Each structure stands twice: as structure tokens, then as C-alpha cells.
Structure 1
Amino acid sequence: MLQVLDFTKNNVIATKAQENLTEADIQKIHPLIHNIVYHGQKVRWYFEMQDFTGWDMKGLWADLKMDLSHANDYEKIAMVGEKKWQDWITRFMKPFTNADIRYFDLEEKQKAKEWINQ
């Protein structure tokens, strides 16, 4: 499940992922990205993962397609998680985008919010 958080505004997309992400979850983000890009801005994405287990197959494919098609549209991505494999995801993403991507532990989520808004 992907929840859009209340501090989504301007060019910041804030989400919280729990359990498994599906294709429908990924589709929630497309209009937000397109709106930011349409207004000539770069996307800053705060992506919090709590009790996150990954993607189903269609969700993973939709996420990969979205990320690759918007690779140059991201400015910053804050990955906030609770598990070592989530840090690994952050490092895996770096070659596919010019965005500044950083991993923060859940205890550092306030720091991540401050960083994404700088």
C-alpha cells in the first residue's frame, strides 16, 4: 500500500510504503510527477518504508518503467527505511538517475524531511 502524505506540495512528493506495492500504487504517483514536470520543476521524493515488504511483479515492473522514464526529472530522493535491504535499494537506484539519493533510518525521518525540503 502506498499512502501520499500530507506534506506533499510544490515539487515535493511524500509517500509512505507499507506491505507490498502494486501497479495501482505506482499509478497514484504518475499524475503528481507529471504536474511537477509540467510546471518546469524537478521532483523531490520523500519515500518512507515502514513494514514494507517489496513489490508484487506488476508493481515492480510499473515502478521500474516509471523511474526509467522520469530518471532526469528527479532532483532528490530521500529513502527512509528500517531494514538493511532498503539501504541496498537506495544504492542500486543511483546509476539510473542524476538525482541526489540518500538513505535515512526511520529514526532519522525528521532529518530526511528537512533534507528533501532544502
Structure 2
Amino acid sequence: MNVKKHGIAIGIDRVGDEVFLSLKARGTLTHQDYEIITPMIDSALKEVQSPKVKALIDGTELDGWELRAAWDDFTLGLRHGSEFEKIAIYGNKSWQETLSKIGRWFISGEVKYFESEQDAIDWLNG
């Protein structure tokens, strides 16, 4: 049986003295994925005042979004965009770099795309 995985995994990672939110997106994201993950992200970021959050997004297994899920992602970014200091996105598809540039319009902190996880982590720690 071939099961196609999709969804978003959330974690908290620590590298050296830096702590950051870690997200790994897999497969084609659906509205149902966002119904599950959005309350978790809302809760995790609810009490953040300062310092702002750094995030590492792993898109190496992301295939894309269903239309309604893309809207969910957009509204989630609008709701929490001011709470991020830096967002490092690493992936392996050319459209991911383009989306990271568009994301800069909605995030008050820095957003940068990388093809290497280590380069992304180094930038977050810099």
C-alpha cells in the first residue's frame, strides 16, 4: 500500500544559544492540515512579546498547496507576520525561492531562501 504523506510538523530546535521554531512541510498541504496546525501555531505564538521568533522552514518535501490551503497559509502569515525576526526557508524547488520573496511583503522580519539547511541555520544564528 502506497500512502502519500502530507502535513506540517512543528518543533522547537536549539542550536548553540539560539532557539527557533522549526517547521517541516511535506506533500501537498490541505485545508484540513491547516485546521489542525493553525491553533497550535496560534497558541505557541500567543504569548510572544520579545524577543521576536526565529523560524526554520524545511520545504524539501513540500509539493505545494491545495487552493484553500494556500489561502490558509496566506492568512496565517498575515496574522503572525509581525512576530518573526527571521524566517529561513530551505528547499529544493525554484518556485520556493519565488514564494519566499513574496512572503517578505507580509512578514515584518527578514525572510531568506536557502538550498542548504546548514546555511539556513548559520543565517538564523548570525
- TM bracket (short chain): 0.7 to 0.9
Bigger radius of gyration: 2
TM-score where L is the length of structure 2: 0.77
- What does 1:1-118 correspond to in 2, within 5 Å? 1-5=7-11, 7=13, 12-26=20-34, 27-41=36-50, 42-105=52-115, 108-118=116-126
Identify the range of structure 1 (50-59 vs 33-42) with the bigger mean alpha-carbon deviation. 33-42
Once residues 93 and 115 of structure 1 are traced to their aligned partners in structure 2, the CA distance between those partners, rounded to angstroms, is 17
Q: Quick one: which amino acid aligns to residue 122 of structure 2? A: E
Q: Which runs of 5+ in 2 are unaligned?
A: 1-6
AA aligned opposite 2:9: Q
- Further displaced range: 8-17 or 70-79: 8-17
**Which protein has the bigger helix share?**
1
- Distance in structure 2 (CA, Å) of the matches to 1:8 and 1:57: 33
What TM-score comes out, normalization by structure 1 length? Answer: 0.81
**Percent of residue pairs bearing the same amino acid type:** 24
